[in-house]
Amino acid sequence: MKHPIALVTAAVLALGGAALPATAFAAQCPSGEFCAWTDADYSGMRWNWSGDDHDWEDGIQDVDSSWANHGISGPGIKDHVQVYENPGLLGLGTVCLAPGQEIPSNGWANDSGDSHTWKMEC
């Protein structure tokens, strides 16, 4: 009879290894876009934009929980994204993402976004 630990180890290895790589939760966001999800870890409904949005729609407004900036970078290009807690780019900034930055969750910014703008820096 086989040892139970050997069976579990064999099953884990057959499924691709004992640990998930760090990229297992990488954000699926189109190139050139800023994305926000309704749930942490880039899950739930995704919304994405290539430009500014001064008043998010009801499906994402105040229910954002994770974010990714897959914008294009280069000299003179606004490639950082600032999210604001109120429409019209008003109030406190909740998160500001550098190019390529992904935030799977943030307790303070959770469920707070209402608008965003592309900027030169955070």
- Is there a contact between 49 and 83 (Cβ–Cβ < 8 Å)? no
Find all residues with CB under 8 Å of 21, minimum gap 6, and list them. Answer: none
Which CATH superfamily hosts domain 22-119? Crystallins (2.60.20.10)
pLDDT digits (tens, 9 = 90+) for 63-86: 999 999 999 999 999 999 999 999
- In this prediction, residue 25 carries a pLDDT of 67
pLDDT at residue 89 greater than cutoff 70: yes
Question: Which two structure tokens, joined as six digits, stand for 29?
Answer: 């966001």
- In this prediction, residue 16 carries a pLDDT of 41
**Confidence category of residue 3, pLDDT binned at 50, 70, 90:** very low
The candidate with the shortest Cα–Cα distance to 41, out of 56, 23, 15, 58, is: 23
What whole-number distance in Å separates Cα of residue 71 and Cα of residue 55? 20
Domain ranges of the chain: 22-119
pLDDT at residue 13 greater than cutoff 70: no
- Is there a contact between 84 and 92 (Cβ–Cβ < 8 Å)? yes
The candidate with the shortest Cα–Cα distance to 54, out of 92, 90, 98, 108, is: 90
CA distances from 12 to 1, 6, 99 (A): 19, 10, 36
- In this prediction, residue 26 carries a pLDDT of 82
pLDDT digits (tens, 9 = 90+) for 17-62: 333 333 456 899 999 999 999 999 999 999 999 999 999 999 999 9
